[in-house]
Every structure is written in structure tokens, then in C-alpha cells.
Amino acid sequence: MENQIKIHFLGGSGTVTGSKFLVETPELNFLIDCGLFQGIKSLRELNWKDFPFDPNNIDLILLTHAHLDHTGYLPKLVKQGYKNPILGTLPTLGIAAVILKDSAKIQEEDAERANKEEYSKHHPALPLYTMSDAEKTIGLFKSIKLNEWHRISENIKYRYQTNGHILGSTFIEIEIFEKRFVFSGDIGREKDLLLEAPNKPEWADYLFLESTYGDRLHPEDDSDEIFIEAIKETVNKKGNLIIPSFAVERLQGIMYKLYLLIKKNKIPKIPIYIDSPMGNEVLGLFEGFSKWHKIEQDEFRKMLSYFNIITSYRDTWKTIDENRSKIVIAGSGMVTGGRVLTYLRYLIDKPETTVLLAGYQAEGTRGRQLENGASEVKIFGKYCPVKAKILKMESLSAHADQKELLDWMSEIKNIPEKIFLIHGEPTALDSLRVKIKDRYNYAVSIPAFNDVVTLQL
Ligand SMILES: [Zn+2]
């Protein structure tokens, strides 16, 4: 008898955010990732649509990793009635709890501000979800063991393996009626300062492959030189070096790089402040889950002793007022919110300030405006002239590039029936499609948002 499997591409399809893949089988229905759409308004509006499938008919959710674009819709799904387990590795669930609570707080604050300033079309404006929805979601978390097959129904089992993207991140293999489905998650770098190289799948009948950097090769790592140069210049100018940073992984990576430079006496001794409440929580998880990354616990603690961790907003002000040269690493990474705004509001109009953008800056963000040489940016309703020097560091990335993506598939022993390219912008998806054809000659398809693919197994 043939078994019909349906795959619903509900997000992360034709775009990089909102990852959600619903798999309907005769035995169980499950969801791989449940992310929030981010970026331009037309994408963000999708978060407000009702889920196109009855949440009560989903038996479980498997998470590849904790990032908001893979987990951020969970509280909305729970609000719509989802009550079953949400599975992931221990660090994934730990970081997801931090991220979801932060996201709920932002949703609540946005709604409150809209009501106060009355700019919303809706009266009263409601948050997408609340802290209580996030807490209910966290209550459904259930951790899994790595590298082992777990049977969930007569003919379905799954296995998690790490893939080097962020702490606890994985790819997921699911065997359904003896066919193997592989969901890559976001794949990390072959050489990473913090994480082991990604494991690779050895068999895939159907591969769902991320394509974020499907059209690009990362430049050689020149971050040490950029840090050394920027810090020396900051000391000479008696200024401040502000580094906007993501709280998860990027912050810890930058800290470790600076720590290594300090140890090697490559940079002058100036105070380094970490101002990221969410980053602090993730630092705690890094310290706790030391087997999941490459820095020994003692070394990690030693590293922490070189940084001033800011916990209260009052200390943010004290740090801004402080007259000596310093480095401040603060969220958010694309200058869309967070403590970094307070620093830039008062320091971006000073020529002795340097802003170092340490990662990808999406369209529509202040980070992108700065990268493009904007002469002013609006912060807290006020236009601030940009007199600071703006630097960019492109080599730090938690994502595999085109070559690394192609290499990741190199240990698959069979000829896959189909490769589905997901989690990429159209040019990245198409570029990777061509490369896979050239190197492997596998059948590749690029599903569009809301496509449903039916397979007969
Ligand atoms: Zn990710």
C-alpha cells in the first residue's frame, strides 16, 4: 500500500525567515521549526495571519535551533491551541526560552506604544503574543538526546546531530516508512572559533537544504586586523568603539576573539563593556553547556574576567558619561533596538567614535543605513548626524557559504530523490540550484511560500 506524505512549505520558502515545514503523514503530523517572519513589512504581516492548519492536529514540533526565525512563532501557535511537545537539544531549548521571552516583551511594548501614540489601525492594538503565551510555550519544551534514533510512531523515527551553526544547533533526520528526510537547519562553518565542524548526513532520500549564502563565498577571516586597527585608532582619538552585536553566538564569538588578542598582547588595554541583557543570559548558557562548545569552562571564566558586564540601565548611562576610551559591545546586531541605540544616540555625532558593524545588516535596518554611508539616522524620534567612522567586518558568519553548503552534502551515499532548497533569497536559491546540478546532478526544486508537495512512499 502506498503512503501519502504531504509537505507544506509555510515559511522559510523563497525567503530566509519564518521557517516552518509541516509534514503530514498517515501516522502523525509534525512541524519542523516554527519561526517568525522578520524584515520588510509585507513579511512581518504574515505573522499576524492565522496558522493555515489546525494546531490541534499537529502532534509534535521538532526544532533545529533556537534563532527567532526558527522559533519565534511558537507562542502564537500555542495561543491558537497547540498543546503538544516541542523538541530540541538542551541548549536550543535554553536559548529559545531567552529569545521567546525577549520577543514577547518586545511584542507587548510595541502594542503599548502603539496604543499610547495611537498610530495603530487597531483599537486597542494587541501584541502578537504575550509573556504568558511565551511561558506556556516553554512549558511544552522537551529535550532530546543527540545521535540516537527515537521512534515516535510505528513507521516514523528521528535523529538529531549537531551542525555547528549556534550553540545546540542541529540538523534532523526523519525516517518515514523507510525513506529518510533530512532537514539541514542552518548549517555552520567548517572552521569556527566556538563550535565543532558540522556533522554531515550520510543518506538522504529527501533533503531540505538551507541556502542563506547559496550565492556567496565568505572572505578570508580578517577580523583580527580590523579589531586591532579599530582599537588602536580609538585609543589615539580618545574615543569610543561601539560594536552592535547579536546576543546569541556573535557576542560570545567577539568576546573570545578579543580575549585571545588581549592574551597575545595585540591590543592596548582599554575597558570593554558588554551591554546586552539577553547576551548575558546566553553567556550563562555557554558557561553551563561547556561540552557543547570548544572553550573549556575555566578558560571561559577567565575570559569573562576581562569584560565589564553591565546589568542595569543606570550603568549604561554611567558608561556613556565616562570620559576615557572604551569598547562597548551592545545589542541589537542590526541597530534595530536594544541598548546600542542609547550609546549611538549620544556618540554617533562625534568624529572620535567608531562603529564596527560585525555582521549582516538587513534591508530596512539602521545598520544597513550606516553601512550605506547615511549622513543621519533617526534614533528615539530624533535625527542624529553621523560623524562617527563606520567600519564593517564581513568575515564573521555563523552560516556556511556556497562551498561549505555543497561540501556538507558530499557524504550522502545515495542519489537523493529530491533536494528542496529553502531558507534563501531568490538569487541565492537559484545560484545554489545551478551549483548542485553541476557538481552532483541531483534533482533540485525551489518550493514557493505555501506550496504543498505530495509524495507517495
Ligand atoms: Zn539560525
pLDDT, tens digit, 9 for 90 and up, residues 216-265: 999 888 999 999 999 999 999 999 999 999 999 999 999 999 999 999 99
pLDDT confidence of residue 158:
98
Q: Give the number of domains in the chain.
A: 2
pLDDT confidence of residue 239:
97
Cα dihedral sign for 197, 203, 208, 213?
positive
> Is the pLDDT assigned to residue 197 strictly greater than 70?
yes
Angstrom distance (rounded) from CA 227 to CA 254: 10
How far away, in angstroms, is 271 Cα from ligand 1 center?
31
Do 123 and 248 belong together in one domain? no
* Mean pLDDT value across the chain: 95
Cell numbers representing residue 412 in the block? 550522502
- Of 392, 421, 447, the last residue of a domain is 392
How far away, in angstroms, is 374 Cα from ligand 1 center?
28
Q: Are 246 and 357 in contact (CB under 8 A)?
A: no
Do 205 and 87 belong together in one domain? yes
How far away, in angstroms, is 204 Cα from ligand 1 center?
22
pLDDT confidence of residue 118:
66
pLDDT, tens digit, 9 for 90 and up, residues 105-135: 999 998 888 888 766 666 788 999 999 999 9
How far away, in angstroms, is 68 Cα from ligand 1 center?
8
How far away, in angstroms, is 131 Cα from ligand 1 center?
23
pLDDT confidence of residue 362:
79
* Confidence bin at 275 (pLDDT 50/70/90): very high
Question: Hey, which residues does 272 pair with through a beta bridge?
Answer: 327
Cell numbers representing residue 351 in the block? 568624529
Do 443 and 355 belong together in one domain? no
How far away, in angstroms, is 192 Cα from ligand 1 center?
15
Angstrom distance (rounded) from CA 185 to CA 387: 40
How far away, in angstroms, is 175 Cα from ligand 1 center?
24
Do 254 and 148 belong together in one domain? no
Do 288 and 207 belong together in one domain? no
Please state, as a whole number, how many other Cβ atoms lie within 10 Å of the Cβ of residue 299: 13
How far away, in angstroms, is 128 Cα from ligand 1 center?
22
How far away, in angstroms, is 354 Cα from ligand 1 center?
28
Strand-pair category, 206-210 with 60-62: unpaired
Do 59 and 183 belong together in one domain? yes
Q: What is residue 16's DSSP assignment?
A: S
How far away, in angstroms, is 67 Cα from ligand 1 center?
5
How far away, in angstroms, is 453 Cα from ligand 1 center?
24
pLDDT, tens digit, 9 for 90 and up, residues 178-193: 999 999 999 999 999 9
Average pLDDT of 270-290? 96
Do 206 and 299 belong together in one domain? no
Phi and psi at 243, nearest 5°, equal -120, 100
Helix axes 250-263, 223-237, angle to 10 degrees: 70
pLDDT confidence of residue 344:
97
Residue 168's contacts (CB-CB under 8 Å, 6 or more residues apart) are: 65, 66, 88, 89, 90, 91, 92, 93, 94, 95, 162, 289, 292
Of 158, 213, 204, 159, which is closest to residue 186 (Cα–Cα)? Answer: 213
How far away, in angstroms, is 245 Cα from ligand 1 center?
15
How far away, in angstroms, is 161 Cα from ligand 1 center?
15
Angstrom distance (rounded) from CA 47 to CA 66: 18
pLDDT, tens digit, 9 for 90 and up, residues 292-322: 999 999 999 999 999 999 999 999 999 999 9
> Is the pLDDT assigned to residue 277 strictly greater than 90?
yes
| pTM attached to this predicted model | 0.94
How far away, in angstroms, is 64 Cα from ligand 1 center?
9
Q: Are 145 and 104 in contact (CB under 8 A)?
A: no
Angstrom distance (rounded) from CA 308 to CA 348: 22
How far away, in angstroms, is 65 Cα from ligand 1 center?
7
* Confidence bin at 16 (pLDDT 50/70/90): confident
pLDDT confidence of residue 121:
63
What CATH code is carried by the domain that includes residue 316? 3.40.50.10890
How far away, in angstroms, is 423 Cα from ligand 1 center?
10
CA dihedral 357, 362, 368, 369 (to 10 degrees): -150
Q: What is residue 447's DSSP assignment?
A: P
Average pLDDT of 362-383? 92
How far away, in angstroms, is 238 Cα from ligand 1 center?
37
- Of 343, 377, 392, the last residue of a domain is 392
Residue range(s) defining the domain that contains residue 320: 223-392
How far away, in angstroms, is 333 Cα from ligand 1 center?
14
Average pLDDT of 84-105? 97
**Residue 213, class by beta-carbon neighbours within 10 Å (0-12 exposed, 13-18 middle, 19+ buried)?**
buried
Do 343 and 443 belong together in one domain? no
Please state, as a whole number, how many other Cβ atoms lie within 10 Å of the Cβ of residue 119: 9
How far away, in angstroms, is 14 Cα from ligand 1 center?
16
How far away, in angstroms, is 263 Cα from ligand 1 center?
30
How far away, in angstroms, is 188 Cα from ligand 1 center?
9
Residue 298's contacts (CB-CB under 8 Å, 6 or more residues apart) are: none
Please give the C-alpha separations between residue 86 and each of 8, 34, 102, 179, 248, in angstroms, as whole numbers. 19, 10, 19, 23, 21
How far away, in angstroms, is 19 Cα from ligand 1 center?
10
Q: Are 30 and 23 in contact (CB under 8 A)?
A: yes
- Tell which phi-psi region holds residue 298, choosing left (phi > 0), alpha (psi between -120 and 50) or beta: alpha
How far away, in angstroms, is 319 Cα from ligand 1 center?
31
How far away, in angstroms, is 194 Cα from ligand 1 center?
15
pLDDT confidence of residue 119:
61
Do 350 and 207 belong together in one domain? no
Peptide bond connecting 312 to the previous residue in cis, omega within 30 degrees of 0:
no
Do 208 and 263 belong together in one domain? no
How far away, in angstroms, is 142 Cα from ligand 1 center?
20
pLDDT confidence of residue 123:
72
Own/partner long-range contacts of 381-385 (Cβ < 8 Å, ≥24 apart)? 382/345, 384/344, 384/345, 384/348, 384/349, 385/348, 385/349
Identity of residue 427: T
How far away, in angstroms, is 171 Cα from ligand 1 center?
11
Cell 556556497 appears where? 402
How far away, in angstroms, is 209 Cα from ligand 1 center?
13
> Is the pLDDT assigned to residue 276 strictly greater than 70?
yes
Do 447 and 424 belong together in one domain? yes
Identity of residue 452: V
Angstrom distance (rounded) from CA 338 to CA 336: 7
How far away, in angstroms, is 305 Cα from ligand 1 center?
29
How far away, in angstroms, is 412 Cα from ligand 1 center?
23
Cell numbers representing residue 138 in the block? 516553554
How far away, in angstroms, is 257 Cα from ligand 1 center?
21
Do 123 and 168 belong together in one domain? yes
Phi and psi at 156, nearest 5°, equal -130, 130
Angstrom distance (rounded) from CA 177 to CA 3: 8
Of 368, 452, 328, which is closest to residue 6 (Cα–Cα)? Answer: 452
How far away, in angstroms, is 198 Cα from ligand 1 center?
14
How far away, in angstroms, is 135 Cα from ligand 1 center?
22
How far away, in angstroms, is 433 Cα from ligand 1 center?
21
Angstrom distance (rounded) from CA 421 to CA 409: 13
Helix runs in 242-312, H state only: 250-263, 277-288, 297-304
- Of 359, 375, 392, the last residue of a domain is 392
Angstrom distance (rounded) from CA 249 to CA 361: 16
What CATH code is carried by the domain that includes residue 171? 3.60.15.10
pLDDT confidence of residue 145:
97
> Is the pLDDT assigned to residue 38 strictly greater than 80?
yes
Average pLDDT of 68-73? 96
Of 19, 55, 38, which is closest to residue 365 (Cα–Cα)? Answer: 38
